[in-house]
Structure 1
């Protein structure tokens, strides 16, 4: 296929894809709480899209496990139990270990600098007692690691798993002592990636997510682990 002529704009994504991506992001960022209804008329207005596009987007997210359709009541954001959150995080742990190893192999000097700077921002947020800001910075850190890994398939799978865990991650971010633990774990991960040690990086990612699993399980007193 010949390259587009100079000055041409890339084609806009199909409407359904645009709505699907925007709704997925809104759920992942907690704009729609677990259990909340997704009213088609409201989504049509919000995303400036036709009802058929909204319905197709909801169907796609239902297939991913983010949304469920309730007979005679419409669609709602699916509630994920702690037990399921643990299972999802176990899957994410394997993917994040792969991503961490690839990031250590492929990280550039500029990317390494951004990772170190992000870790510094996380330390500052925690020192200031900004737990919500700290939680947001963690998500940005994972985004930087995913970019450095250049493994879009694994990163895409993680994004889909991650979107189901918003409520549980929020609870963890407010748990006394947990942010300090995660900062130390993520510091080890960043050190391993920027040190270009794939084995150590994969082990650090595994250790971090195993710790998350334990923290989630402990929050309900059930055995097992989380993200």
Structure 2
């Protein structure tokens, strides 16, 4: 039990490095090198790699050992389809549970997104996307959904941060998030689920545009969570 905090820290730091693109797709993950780079024991690195393999971010290849797993466009779409089903349920649960204070918090996040777009700061607006989705998940209060979505989001985040570069997508995304929050505020589970499905279906379309623009999995320095 005493090593758990260090193990969790090692897992989080390596996970962030993969998501942020500091560890690239197909890059070999050598325990000794990672231990030196991140200031972790080799045992901690080994445990972190095992957890990341379970989460689908790392894979073991014959004669190469552990590498950062490459997620292709088709798999990214499949992951988004699964996420759509889960997040629609999350939105419905949130609509049934949200308090006035929580609705105000959601509106505050959307307001920050709007201000960032008005200032032309696409990255700041994009950074607030996962904040909003996490808040909706928090309101829904489902540990099972939280765990499932954490794995899905970590696998796809490298693609999704490029969707903000698709022409017209930032403003469209803002309108979609506003529709989700409005449905939650009205306490309408069906409407909230529908708004979330529509939003994430549009994300799938944006992913296809990203694939057309760049055939390689994309990363954004400093990205910590999935954006949509």
Q: What is the rounded CA distance, in whole Å, between the counterparts of 2:54 and 2:12 in structure 1? A: 14
Once the two structures are TM-superposed, the CA of residue 35 in structure 1 deviates from its matched residue by: 3.1
Q: Which residue of 1 aligns with 2:96?
A: 105
> Which of 166, 183, 187 is equivalent to 2:157?
166
Unaligned runs of 5+ in 1: 1-10, 222-226
Aligned to 1:179: 170
Deviation of the 1:19 alpha carbon = 2.1
SS in 2 for 1:140: helix
Asked if the contact 1:28/1:162 (under 8 Å) is kept, the reply is no
Write the deviation string for residues 144-185 of structure 1: whole angstroms up to 9, x where unpaired: 111111112101211111111122112211111111111111
* SS of residue matched to 2:147: helix
Q: Within 2, Cα distance between the matches of 1:93 and 1:28?
A: 21
Taking structure 1 as the reference length, the TM-score comes to 0.84
TM alignment of 1:192-203, pairs within 5 A: 192-203=183-194
Distance in 1 separating the partners of 2:125 and 2:86: 23
User: Does the alignment pair 1:90 with 2:81?
Assistant: yes
1:71 aligns with 2:62: yes
Please give the alpha-carbon distance, in whole angstroms, between the structure 2 residues aligned to 1:98 and 1:25: 27
Please point out which of 1, 4, 8 is paired with 1:13. Answer: 4
Deviations, residues 37-70 of structure 1 (Å, cap 9, x unaligned): 3332343245543212211220221122111123
1:95–1:158 CA contact under 8 A, matched in 2: yes
Q: CA deviation at 1:107?
A: 1.4
What is the count of residue pairs matched by the alignment?
213
User: Counterpart of 2:26?
Assistant: 35
Compared with structure 1, are the counterparts of its residues 200 and 167 closer, same or farther at alpha carbon in structure 2 (3 Å cutoff)? same
Partner of 1:49: 40
- Equivalent in 126, 130, 151 of residue 121 of structure 2: 130
Of 77-86 and 28-37, more deviation after overlay is shown by 28-37
Equivalent pair of 2:25/2:68 in contact (CA under 8 Å): yes
Which 4+ stretches in 1 moved above 6 angstroms?
none
Preserved CA contact (<8 Å) 1:116 1:190: yes
Structure with larger Rg: 1
> Partner of 1:3 in structure 2?
none
The answer to whether the 8 Å contact 1:37/1:76 transfers is yes
Secondary structure class of the residue paired with 2:67:
strand
Question: Unmatched 5+ residue regions in structure 2?
Answer: 213-227
